[in-house]
Amino acid sequence: MSDAALHPETLAVHAGREVDAETGAVALPIHPSTTFERAADGGFPHGHIYTRYANPTRTHLETCLAALEGGAEAAAFASGTAAAMTVFQALGPGAHVVASADAYHGILRLLREVMTPWDLAVSLVDTSDLDAVRAAIRPATRLLWAETPSNPLLKISDLDALAAIARDAGAISVCDNTFATPILQRPLDHGFDISMLSTTKYFGGHSDVLGGGLVTGAADKFWERIRFLQGAGGAVPSPFDCWLVLRGAATLPLRVRAATDNAGRLAEHLAEHVRVERVYYPGLSTHPGHALAARQMKGFGGVLSFTVTDGESAAINVAARVRLIKRATSLGGVETLIEHRASIEGPETRTPRNLLRLSVGVEHVDDLIADLDEALANK
Ligand code: PLP
């Protein structure tokens, strides 16, 4: 049976893992070695030279990422941000980038504060508005950077249409697939060139490891450049971190589904709450991207945002009063997190001041509802 015929639940458990030939160990060994012995003829019979270029534990993780995203190859990085940075560096100076205005703020900061001085021109657009995307394309456009669902407004962009716009413009298309993960959405199936992941989030799944990944549909020239930068720049994860992410991947489908079910229930509950102004969740039929999300996703994900009545201080008070839910940034862990997004995004933020983002975990949903109800009642 080919890997392509296997279901994601099966790939999550088996892709990149085989029983250790030397010991029969079912759990993968970790290879901390930074260097690998040459054969007497000077060659490298096992294919590994030095861990910055490649490491066996990292290769296992990369195999798993590629299989889940349906890609030709994957490259694992020390963080999601390092993965994104490598894409931008691979473009070279002088290129123009069209990026989602509601992309993760750290990616936008990279574009604004690191890559713009490096002579990259950037246009930020609402990628859910295809006319705006078409209008932003220039002759020098080399990259279309999308994030759907977006962060933190959960906007949905049309993956098929965006991939076609990029293709017509001769630009590379990359989708930050961190929120959805390949369990809910596979950008390469929609014609995207590369899917990008912060594996810190759902893949790791336990808020205890940083990681990132790029998965390509084709091992083309751009991909060769990315591979070169991965080894030359050295933003690679440690073997132990690769092992943790790979261990998390095995339960990714279970956790993503549990978080998605909980988020759907919470979104419905909050939408009816008298102290909630608006809920941003693509699973709600009132969400403008609901029909599109239902078409291109296999579930609406575990992240939702909501605005509260009475402004910023009320939002901060709600976050201050939760007891079970943790006040912390990040997402995709087993525990539910709440965050006042504008505070962490800094002065450049476009996020409403009264918005709270929830990364819904895998606890019992009734306990989460009770915690939020109490915090909202005391607002
Ligand atoms: N993309 C999204 C959607 C994120 O939420 C994050 C982190 O919060 C990143 C990328 C960056 O990932 P990392 O923190 O692993 O660098």
Ligand 1 centre to CA of 86 (Å) is: 14
Give the residue among 116, 119, 100 at the shortest CA–CA distance from 289.
100
pLDDT, tens digit, 9 for 90 and up, residues 279-292: 999 999 999 999 99
Contact 47, 41 (CB under 8 A): no
The predicted structure's pLDDT at residue 4: 73
Residues contacting residue 11 through CB under 8 Å, at least 6 positions apart: 3, 64, 67, 68
For residue 5, pLDDT over 80 is answered with yes
Is residue 176 flagged as an active site residue?
yes
Q: Is 212 in the pocket of ligand 1 (CB under 6 A)?
A: yes
**Protein residue closest via CA to atom 8 of ligand 1:** 330
The predicted structure's pLDDT at residue 349: 83
Give percent of the chain above pLDDT 70. Answer: 99
Is residue 104 flagged as an active site residue?
yes
For residue 1, pLDDT over 70 is answered with no
Rounded-to-integer distance, Cα 124 and Cα 341, Å: 19
Rounded-to-integer distance, Cα 62 and Cα 242, Å: 9
The predicted structure's pLDDT at residue 344: 86
Ligand 1 centre to CA of 179 (Å) is: 9
Q: Is 81 in the pocket of ligand 1 (CB under 6 A)?
A: yes
Mean local confidence (pLDDT), 132-145: 98
Structure tokens at 151: 């962060």
The predicted structure's pLDDT at residue 339: 97
**Which range has the worst mean pLDDT, 45-59, 264-278, 279-293, 344-358?**
344-358
Give percent of the chain above pLDDT 90. Answer: 94
For residue 379, pLDDT over 80 is answered with no
pLDDT, tens digit, 9 for 90 and up, residues 7-37: 999 999 999 999 999 999 999 999 999 999 9
pLDDT, tens digit, 9 for 90 and up, residues 300-330: 999 999 999 999 999 999 999 999 999 999 9
Mean local confidence (pLDDT), 170-184: 98
Angle, vertex CA 54, rays to CA 48 and CA 58, nearest 5? 120
pLDDT, tens digit, 9 for 90 and up, residues 181-217: 999 999 999 999 999 999 999 999 999 999 999 999 9
For residue 378, pLDDT over 80 is answered with no
Residues contacting residue 42 through CB under 8 Å, at least 6 positions apart: none
The predicted structure's pLDDT at residue 350: 84
Is residue 201 flagged as an active site residue?
yes
Which long-range CB contacts under 8 A does 268-272 form with residues at least 24 apart?
A: 269/369, 269/372, 270/304, 270/306, 270/372
Instruction: Determine if the pTM surpasses 0.75.
Output: yes
Structure tokens at 19: 């029983």
Q: Which atom of ligand 1 is nearest to the CA of 330?
A: 8
Ligand 1 centre to CA of 109 (Å) is: 12
Catalytic residue among 52, 109, 134, 326: 52
Ligand 1 centre to CA of 298 (Å) is: 21
Identify which of 65, 153, 157, 198 to mutate to test ligand 1's pocket (most ligand atoms within 8 A of the CB).
198
pLDDT, tens digit, 9 for 90 and up, residues 69-114: 999 999 999 999 999 999 999 998 999 999 999 999 999 999 999 9
The predicted structure's pLDDT at residue 112: 95
> Mean pLDDT of all residues in the chain?
96
Ligand 1 centre to CA of 44 (Å) is: 35
Contact 236, 57 (CB under 8 A): no
Ligand 1 centre to CA of 248 (Å) is: 17
Which long-range CB contacts under 8 A does 284-289 form with residues at least 24 apart?
A: 287/154, 287/156, 288/128, 288/155, 288/156, 289/128, 289/149, 289/154, 289/155, 289/156, 289/157
For residue 116, pLDDT over 70 is answered with yes
Identify which of 65, 81, 210 to mutate to test ligand 1's pocket (most ligand atoms within 8 A of the CB).
81
Q: Is 104 in the pocket of ligand 1 (CB under 6 A)?
A: yes
In one-letter notation, the amino acid at residue 187 is P
The burial of 14, by beta-carbon neighbours within 10 Å (0-12 exposed, 13-18 middle, 19 or more buried), is given as middle
Catalytic residue among 17, 58, 102, 104: 104
pLDDT band at 365 (very low <50, low <70, confident <90, very high): very high
* Reduced 3-state DSSP string for the chain: CCHHHCCHHHHHHHCCCCCCCCCCCCCCCCCCCCECCCCCCCCCCCCCCECCCCCHHHHHHHHHHHHHHCCCEEEEECCHHHHHHHHHHHHCCCCEEEEECCCCHHHHHHHHHHHCCCCCEEEEECCCCHHHHHHHCCCCEEEEEEECCCCCCCCCCCHHHHHHHHHHHCCEEEEECCCCHHHHCCHHHHCCCEEEEECCCCCCCCCCCCCEEEEECCCCHHHHHHHHHHHHHCCCCCHHHHHHHHHHHHCHHHHHHHHHHHHHHHHHHHHCCCCEEEEECCCCCCCCCHHHHHHHCCCCCCEEEEEECCHHHHHHHHHHHCCCCEECCCCCCCCCEEEEHHHHHCCCCCCCCCEEEEECCCCCHHHHHHHHHHHHHCC
Ligand 1 centre to CA of 309 (Å) is: 29
Q: Is 339 in the pocket of ligand 1 (CB under 6 A)?
A: no
Q: Is 359 in the pocket of ligand 1 (CB under 6 A)?
A: no
Q: Is 176 in the pocket of ligand 1 (CB under 6 A)?
A: yes
Q: Is 100 in the pocket of ligand 1 (CB under 6 A)?
A: no
